[in-house]
Amino acid sequence: CWSYLGQTGRKQELSLGRGCWYKGVVIHAIAHALGFFHEHNRPDRDRYVKIIFPNIEPGKSEL
């Protein structure tokens, strides 16, 4: 399940193979094709996201 981000040329490819045919997954791939990307990767995300570290379970704060 993948798509290039935004317009890449005349055709816009996205892949919806086996296991991808779920409403949310299809919408996600189409959104990428339209140029939307994950909010947590936005360059200005720190202006809008506040992490409350005391609310994170011990041992779960590292990726």
d(CA 29, CA 48): 24
pTM of the predicted model over 0.95? no
Query: Radius of gyration (Cα) for the chain, nearest Å?
Result: 16
In the block, tokens 């947590």 appear at 40
d(CA 19, CA 1): 8
3-state helix, strand, coil in the chain (%, to 5): 35, 5, 60
- Listed by start position, the domains of the chain span 2-55
Q: Is 40 annotated as a binding residue?
A: no
Residue pLDDT, tens place only, 5-33: 998 888 888 999 999 999 999 999 999 99
Q: Is 38 annotated as a binding residue?
A: yes
